[in-house]
Structure 1
């Protein structure tokens, strides 16, 4: 039994480290006022290629429900944002990449007039048709808006998401 103790301690340390990283994602001080529900076509692109997904964002009492699906409707990630904290929604395993994507999407979808108040104290900037958030560590998000309601979202240096509304629920910037 004593031989399992270092192994168990190593796993606990790893879990603590990972949970600490997940809690450091920039989030607004309170939930922004969004026109919900939203259904968005997502095209994730990195050095190895691209793939299409669907993102659905819904109001669920005091929470925002985020569901990322394959084109066939199979859930890839589901999270609830409740009181500024992410919680698992369902039986899917944790997905740190999706959680960061959801946090970056929340920044991208927050209306301009709410940014100063909701992201006060965080390092973000706004340019014409673009905004950027620098959070230190791995979180660095850059959003470039287009006239048609779609936008490009860079999450870190190697991952870009093309985002386009599937319905008329998209807000113009």
Structure 2
């Protein structure tokens, strides 16, 4: 009986590792060409209410740096997307919800002319004024005007997304 215990532990660890890999949100096959940096206002909607957040997406050498902030500027999540994998950026604890949000936003922000190539093999559709990723997770994007869109990420959670107005750039 004592000999089977180490095998059971290794089997359990292997299953946990596989379940962690299976729960990773879909990412494009390579980094899309985006006009960076992007500064977005996010309004999270759930059964618990609404919450405002700010998101900054920047190019950092070969990586995309994603920084989610409270309205007061407190970092909530920081991740680097490097070679199709998320990496921690800084000392914040891992935040799987933020990684899924970032992956869904990357799907929503990918330009139309890159979508078919970067999300090949994924079950997605592009009805007029919208975009859907079917399966698990299930994302639904409804585009509005002036760069705004609604993003449903499932489990009763959605986001209103709008570019931050940079009045200084217009003058």
The TM-score with structure 1 as length reference comes to 0.85
Q: Report the Cα distance in structure 2 between the residues aligned to 1:166 and 1:91, rounded to whole angstroms.
A: 26
Q: Report the Cα distance in structure 1 between the residues aligned to 2:56 and 2:80, rounded to whole angstroms.
A: 12
Measured on the aligned residues, the alpha-carbon RMSD in Å equals 2.1
Q: Report the Cα distance in structure 2 between the residues aligned to 1:32 and 1:97, rounded to whole angstroms.
A: 22
For structure 2, the 5+ residue unaligned runs are: 167-171
Number of matched residues? 160
User: Greater relative contact order (Cα 8 A, min sep 6): structure 1 or 2?
Assistant: 1
The residue number in structure 1 matching 2:72 is 72
Q: Report the Cα distance in structure 2 between the residues aligned to 1:159 and 1:133, rounded to whole angstroms.
A: 15
The TM-score with structure 2 as length reference comes to 0.86
Larger Rg: 2
Q: Provide Cα deviations, 1:57-108, integer angstroms capped at 9, x if missing partner.
A: 0000000000000001000001000000011111111111100000000000
The residue number in structure 2 matching 1:109 is 109
For structure 1, the 5+ residue unaligned runs are: 169-173
Deviation at 1:149, TM superposition (A): 1.4
